[in-house]
Structure 1
Amino acid sequence: MLWSSGAPAWADVVPGGNGTGSETQVNGGKEGRTVSATAGAIVFDRSRNGSGQSAGTVTSTTTWTPPACYYAPKYSPEELKAYLEPIWQAESTGYQWDAEQRARYVDGHPYKDFNKEKSGEGYWWDSYVTEGREGDPGALDCKEPPFWVDKGDAPPPNIPQAITPEMLAQLAYAEIRVPSTKVDLAPAGATKVNLPTWAWLDGADFKPVSVTASVPLLGIQATTTAEPVALELDPGTPDAETYPASGTCRITDGHIGEPYAKGKADRNPPCGVRYLRSSGEGTFPLKATITWKIHWTGTGVPGERTLPDGTFGAEQAVTVQEIQAVNR
């Protein structure tokens, strides 16, 4: 059996929503911080996600993107009837389409009376469009009309976009939020030409974050986790050097760079930058980008699987001043 019907606690849950099936329906509760929300049949648990106004989404380091559309349970027999019959009564879709739909769902070709005799024994599956991907050409790939799947059965093999734990992991990837990458600098405020400037991030803010996506109706879930692995510094001008020379500061034991402290003035920073000219009356846009290694675990999938690394960066203005010589 490829699909489970879910835990007993979910036995009375039924799919459905107020939308047309062409968009993602989002419902859920909020208590201080969002813990979970639903997107149709999918429930997202964000309790271990990054938070705060400065948190943002990661961008894949490849051309890969999460699926723009997918199929999952959406209607009970009664809900599909309540959805389709007003459309037919309005006659807004044309006689031929209405007749074909009535034949498919009412007259027994192949379904009869919306499969009411199977009420509670399965669900009508339909397409969903991933939130934020409504204008994506890939959102048009899910063209199948609603189809029936008995509890415990796999969806038809000709439906490649049918929801799976791997797809849940990919959808959870899009929900990942990571903290801001604004770095602490020493000297703070303004630095000097040819003076090594130390850069670091508070390691306490850069711990793994994760989002779990599940379909309780099917008893499947996947957790996608992002872990910080490196900080890349771009000084914002070619007239600068970075520490290390590659500009990539590796993250070890949760530490990103090293805070400056008294007594370190004669040392080069393990992570930082040295500007070779003044910023004049302006500033240089120092960009700090964190690379996050992303992996997932899911129902029926042994071990961990990987997804493309993600990045998130931010710019901050750095003032670089000339060192003033004093003539005596």
Structure 2
Amino acid sequence: MRRVTGRRRLLALSALVTACALGLPGTASAYGPGEGQGAQQPTGPSGNSDGKGGISATAGAVVYDRSNNGSGPSVGPVASTTAWTPPACYYAPKYTPAQLKAYLEPIWEAGSTGYEWDAEQRDRYVNGHPYKDFNQDRSAKGYWWDAYVTPGREGDPGALDCTKPVFWVDSNTNPPADIPLAVTTRVLAELAYNEIRVPSTNVTLAPANATKVNLPTWAWLDGAQFKPVSVTASVPILGISATTTAEPVSLKIDPGTTDAVTYPPSGVCQISGRHIGEPYAQGKADRTPPCGVKYLRSSGNGTYALKATITWRIHWTGTGNTADDLPDGTFGATQNVTVQEIQAVNR
């Protein structure tokens, strides 16, 4: 049993490698912003071949609309605030009956996986245990599903979790319940989470260039840079999609030293109107900043690495009135702050 399980894993990985090499639907990351949106829905498997042994990428694989995503050189992915991470692999339609036959028969003829394994596979897909003749008599009624690696997660150990042998799903039928990574609107939402990009968080400080010991330093972010962003993931051949949206909710200030106090004491600044924190202006020098820091010790000849981290609340909506929340995400950046001693004047 151990040897058979290993071979099943080898076959699954072989399918993934072949898909990448041939440009089959394992390469959804090649699609740019907006592709896959409004695509004509296929009427059946017969019209969806890519000519290379698999369903065309826009028909079978997950595609992404990133037109409402964060952009620019400073953007980055959010990190989940919990132990949960988006799936590194998933299952989706990959072959029509004729395409699976064209893919597997040369492997069996080559004998590279051994007689016993080839015989087991023939029994599974040809001899009726449980499938007969690659389900060619059902070619207009469904698809063969197989594993895909999530774009950008190729080196993740979780990419090896999808080891189920190729399986059949009838059209307009949910995938088997015992395959949790089979693509659904929720899985699409989780895959879209992986694609979310949000702007960096260099805060504006006042004083700007260098602050003083025991002098409250105001910190804020322009809310216009931190509007909600979203990514839509879809499988056009199934007619399902999900849009995952990230909305900024708070800014956390870490002064970079224990010799400091933050405003508020928690260091977490809530969004207020168009800004996170409040911009400094003349006449506010005697006020306590709603968001900021006060350093209690000079940085000497160096600087303190102030870290500003935005928390993003993330939720999704999908086909069929599906919707839910996903774990909050964070993205932060550090900036150097010079803190000087207040110079006394002797008269």
The residue aligned with 1:26 is 28
Unmatched segments (≥5 aa) in structure 2: 1-17, 37-56
Query: Per-residue deviation at 1:290?
Result: 0.6
Q: Does 1:208 align with 2:228?
A: yes
State whether structure 2 residue 324 is matched by structure 1 residue 305. Answer: yes
Deviates further, 129-138 or 44-53: 129-138
Closer, same or farther: CA 24–305 of 1 in aligned 2, 3 Å: same
- How many residues align? The count is 308
Identify the match of residue 316 of structure 1 among 331, 335, 339: 335
Report the residue type matching 1:315 in the other structure: T
C-alpha separation in 2, matches of 1:322 and 1:120: 78
Please report how far the alpha carbon of residue 96 of structure 1 lies from its aligned counterpart in structure 2 after TM superposition: 1.2
The TM-score normalised by the length of structure 2 is 0.82
Partner of 1:145, secondary structure, is coil
Structure 1 residue 115 corresponds to structure 2 residue 135: yes
- Distance in structure 1 (CA, Å) of the matches to 2:183 and 2:250: 33
**3-state SS, counterpart of residue 74 of structure 1:** strand
Instruction: Give the RMSD, CA atoms, in angstroms.
Output: 2.3
Contact 1:207 1:254 in 2 (8 A): no
Deviations 1:163-197 (A, max 9, x none): 11111111111111110011011111211111111
Q: TM-score, normalised by structure 1?
A: 0.87
Q: Give the equivalent residue in structure 1 for 2:54.
A: none
CA contact (8 A) 1:125 1:146 kept: yes
**Matched residues in 1 for 2:178 and 2:326: separation?**
25
The Cα shift of 1:52 comes to: 1.2
2:45 maps to which residue?
none
Q: 1:165 to 1:29 in 2, by over 3 A?
A: closer
Question: Does the CA-based 8 Å contact 2:28-2:62 persist in structure 1?
Answer: no
Tell me how far apart the structure 2 counterparts of residues 28 and 58 of structure 1 sit (CA, whole Å). Answer: 21
| CA gap 1:29/1:165 in 2 versus in 1, 3 angstroms | closer
The CA distance in 2 between the partners of 1:290 and 1:26, in whole Å, is: 29
| Aligned equivalents of 1:163, 1:29: Cα separation in 2 | 19
The answer to whether 1:65 aligns with 2:85 is yes
* Letter in structure 2 aligned against 1:26: A
The 10-residue stretch of structure 1 (253-262 or 151-160) with the greater mean CA deviation from structure 2: 151-160
Give the drift of 1:127.
Answer: 1.6
Q: For residues 27 and 200 of structure 1, do their structure 2 counterparts lie closer, same or farther at Cα, with a shift above 3 Å needed? A: closer
| C-alpha distance in structure 2 between counterparts of 1:27 and 1:225, whole Å | 19
Does structure 2 conserve the Cα–Cα contact (< 8 Å) formed by 1:23 and 1:134?
A: no
Match of 1:222 among 232, 238, 242: 242
User: Is the CA contact (8 Å cut-off) linking 1:36 and 1:47 kept in structure 2?
Assistant: no
Task: Note if 1:139 corresponds to 2:159.
Answer: yes
- How far 1:242 moved relative to its partner? 1.0
Q: Which segment is superposed worse, 196-205 or 37-46? A: 37-46
- 1:33-67: CA deviation from partner (whole Å, max 9, x where unpaired): x3347696211111111111111111111111122
| Deviation, structure 1 residue 137 | 4.3
- Secondary structure of 1:96's partner? helix
Per-residue deviation, residues 236-290 of structure 1 (Å, max 9, x unmatched): 0111111112111101223111111222222221111111111000000000011
Decide whether the 8 Å contact of 2:19 with 2:25 is kept in 1.
no
Q: Give unpaired runs (5+ residues) of structure 1.
A: 1-16
Q: Which whole-Å deviations, capped at 9, do the CAs of 1:285-307 have from their partners, x for residues lacking one?
A: 000011111111112245x4111
Residues 213 and 341 in structure 2, CA contact (< 8 A), matched pair in contact too:
yes
